[in-house]
Amino acid sequence: MVLSVFRSAAVWARLAGLTTASIWVALLGTAVPAQAEEMDLAERYRLCAAFPYNSACEGLEIPVPLDNQPGTLVGCGFTFDTHVSSRKCRVLLEAESLTLYVEVGDELELLDDERASAAIAIPFSHIFTSDLRIWARRTDAASFFVRG
């Protein structure tokens, strides 16, 4: 059946001035987008984690585990208005700000049961620091405050 359809298409194509090769290209070219549309969400996440600039990744927010974020892994505990406290985070000093990467949300199967992470950039102009060292008691205390 497919061969007879192809033969009749080839006859019409020759009448229209097309070659058999151009028909094959047209038929095969239409099969590729259908295959890309059948990709499920888990496959898209894996593809986009490896190739973030692929056209299939446009508009897709990929959850990134904390271990894949830049910066130094540290223990931290804090609470912001919308972010919950975290046991571990990454700290990255940039030219104009301090960026914290914290774990958010629930564990995701797509991330091998790790949590996604979110970035919080704090401009240096919003940070007030203090440092107190009492050498006789061997006590170090450091803190910084962020104003809104």
Q: For 53-81, what is the mean pLDDT?
A: 85
pTM of the predicted structure, to 2 decimals: 0.54
- Say if residues 106 and 54 touch (Cβ distance below 8 Å): no
103 or 134, greater pLDDT = 103
- Residue 135 corresponds to which amino acid? W
What is the 3 state secondary structure string of 66-96? HHHCCCEEEECCCCCCCCCCCCEEEEEECCC
Which pLDDT tens digit goes with each residue over 5-19?
444 444 444 544 555
Q: Given the DSSP bridges, would you call strands 88-93 and 72-75 parallel, antiparallel or unpaired?
A: antiparallel
Torsional class of 43: left (φ above 0), alpha (ψ -120 to 50), beta (otherwise): alpha
